[in-house]
Amino acid sequence: MPDHHDPLRHIFDDLVAMPSPTTEQTESARRALSVVIRDEAPGESIHPRLRLGVAVAAVLAFVVAITVVAPWNRSPAEAFLGEVAEAARNITPDEMPQGSYIYFVTEQLVWGGTEGSLGDELVRVDYLIPSTTESWWQDGTVRNETTVGRPTFFDPEDEAFYYDHGLDKSDFVGETRTETLTGIKSRIDPEEWSTIPEQLAVEMRQAAEADPSEEPIDAKMMGVAYRLLNPRVFASPMLRAAVIDVLATLDVDQQRLDGGRVSASLTYDRRYFGTIRLEFVFDGEGYLVERSSTAISGDEEGILSPGTVYEIITQTPPVVVPKAGVRPTLLTGSASGG
Amino acid sequence: MAAVEHTDDREVMKASLEDPAVFHLVFDRYHARIYAYLAGRVGAVAAEDLASEVFIAAFRQRASFRSDAESARPWLYGIAANLARRHHRSASRRRRAYSRAPATSVVWIDPDTSVRVDAARQVKGLTGELNKLRAKDREVLLLYALADLSYAEIAEALGIPVGTVRSRLSRTRARLRNLLPEEGQSMGEGSDTNGGGE
């Protein structure tokens, strides 16, 4: 039972009113909901008894689409993802002996921000901050060694403020930190996902539709794919291949890059960010090695100028190592070996 | 629709899968509370739209409502917390937004209330301390203090273990120790030493 005498419950008392919506506000919200309810076509009803039928129908539709329609409509350029999916399928799965760890390196440059005090004012500064993290994963345990680089600022005033007020200290700029976290519950169990593209497409779509954000469904699907392809998930080659096959069915632009790499990018309008391009890059074996987001039109606040890459994350394929702290270079003489 | 009017949320949610209009009952039961929670987090103006969005999102996701959950309350607060978080992310991108309105960016203060000097000082201290909290700790605190959810309900709303809720609140309690009112004492009656959160 809630402890209503807990002082923490009352921390906002006298400071925060808990107002009721006006009748007009309630009616307005109710009308908006009614429109959505009315717009749900009878065929979209999702009664549990119908779900199986819907899923089967979706699988059948997908099968028809990829076996009958897709190959005839697919231009050669659109086959790039299929090639890396096939390459992934031909890889022998790595074994993970008892007690071993998954090792990978993540480098990222992301749009960050820090708040700090300036007299009575609280000020926010925006910047792109780079970091490199080496990770060792085993079940619910991870050891991370993270080194943070110097940020890039959009505004010289922000940069001066940042360093003048020691905000770099709170970002650990120039430092390498090691942390070990335990008891982490992964939301993705690769065993629970189908390696049959048609079935996986249905499962991914269900997961995407559970995402309450306003992103378009294809962006949500790419989000699900990103989680499945994270190195720590240690997805089997068959699962990686199936995910790539599903991505190929989305409204993505496929490009062949150097070194046998292939990219898939989705361009869409994102609230506050304007038009953005979300891009995945796969290596020749179907490992997702890079994800980036570009503000094509610039964000609504005018912080990001058009064309700014405001997020770029690269990850090495996972390598099995015998214990935490051991790097593949010590085993194979190659950082990317494995 | 009348047939399910007095049933629990689980039955209402189930019925809404067959008859979408039944979902209005969920709205009628919880809209005012969700609005109040959001108003406390993002201000009354933004809360109006966000509260509306919560129920539209909930309607669209109703198939994912856990069939063993008796109440829709934690689920709805979970959606509301997500939307509020997103709203703050957007709002906080505005450079120096906090310098323009340091208190209202975090907690909304009834404009009709005559705010006393002590309370104003308390707001500043509280705002500063809230900003220093880890985002995840702050999220739990707001559901605890603003939405009045139990530990178990917060766990359900955020999809985290109850133990995590407990440890986050414990950490917050330690951090805000100097700002917590004594039992039976309101925030506005705090001494000067309570206002020194800056």
DSSP secondary structure, B8-71, as one string: -HHHHHHHHHH-GGGGHHHHHHHHHHHHHHHHHHH-HHHHHHHHHHHHHHHHHTGGGS-TT-S-
Supply the ipTM of this predicted assembly: 0.71
Six token digits for residue B93 = 């991108």
- Burial (CB < 10 A; 0-12, 13-18, 19+), residue A251, is exposed
Residue A147 is predicted with a pLDDT of 93
| B91/B106 Cα distance (integer angstroms) | 10
Band the pLDDT of B47: cuts 50, 70, 90: confident
Residue A148: beta bridge partners? Answer: A131, A173
Chain A residues touching residue B196 (CB < 8 angstroms): none
Q: Which residue of B has its CA nearest to A154?
A: B95
> Any idea where the domains of chain A sit in the sequence?
7-73, 77-332
Residue B116 has pLDDT above 90, yes or no: no
A7, A21, A25 member nearest B181 (Cβ) = A7
| A310/A130 Cα distance (integer angstroms) | 11
Cβ within 8 Å, pair A26-B20: no
Strands A262-270 and A253-256: antiparallel
Given CB atoms, is A43 within the 8 Å cutoff of chain B? no
B79, B96, B110 member nearest A123 (Cβ) = B96
Q: Which residues contact B64 (CB under 8 A, 6 or more apart)?
A: A210
SS3 content of chain B, % helix, strand, coil (to 5): 70, 0, 30
Q: What is the largest CA-CA distance in chain B?
A: 58
Q: Which residue of A has its CA nearest to B37?
A: A18
Q: What is the DSSP letter of A306?
A: T
Q: Which residue of A has its CA nearest to B181?
A: A7
Share of chain A above pLDDT 90, in %: 41
Cβ within 8 Å, pair B23-A37: yes
| B120/B113 Cα distance (integer angstroms) | 11
Decide if B71 contacts B141 (C-beta within 8 A).
no
* Higher-scoring residue by pLDDT: B32, B94: B32
Which of B16, B34, B99, B168 should be substituted to probe chain A, the one whose Cβ sees the most A Cβ atoms within 10 Å? B99
**Residue B192 in 3-state DSSP?**
helix
Assigned fold of B1-93: Rna Polymerase Sigma Factor; Chain: A (1.10.1740)
Cβ within 8 Å, pair B187-A5: no
A5, A32, A120 member nearest B56 (Cβ) = A32
The mean pLDDT value for B55-69 works out to 86
Residue A255: beta bridge partners? Answer: A263
Note the pLDDT tens digit of each residue in A289-305: 999 999 998 877 777 88
The mean pLDDT value for A99-103 works out to 92
Residue B17 is predicted with a pLDDT of 87
Q: Which residue of B has its CA nearest to A18?
A: B36
> Any idea where the domains of chain B sit in the sequence?
1-93
Six token digits for residue A122 = 């609280």
Helices (H) then strands (E): counts for chain A: 10, 11
Note the pLDDT tens digit of each residue in A69-95: 444 344 444 589 999 999 999 988 888
Band the pLDDT of B191: cuts 50, 70, 90: very low
Decide if A130 contacts A121 (C-beta within 8 A).
no
* Higher-scoring residue by pLDDT: A206, B177: A206
Query: DSSP states of A10-74 as a string?
Result: GTTTTT---PPPPHHHHHHHHHHHHHHHHHS-GGG---HHHHHHHHHHHHHHHHHIIIIIHHHH-
| A29/A41 Cα distance (integer angstroms) | 21
Band the pLDDT of B128: cuts 50, 70, 90: low
| A63/A65 Cα distance (integer angstroms) | 5
> In A111-216, which residue ranges form alpha helices assigned H by DSSP?
156-164, 167-170, 197-209
Residue A308: beta bridge partners? Answer: A295
- Burial (CB < 10 A; 0-12, 13-18, 19+), residue A53, is exposed
Q: What is the DSSP letter of A173?
A: B
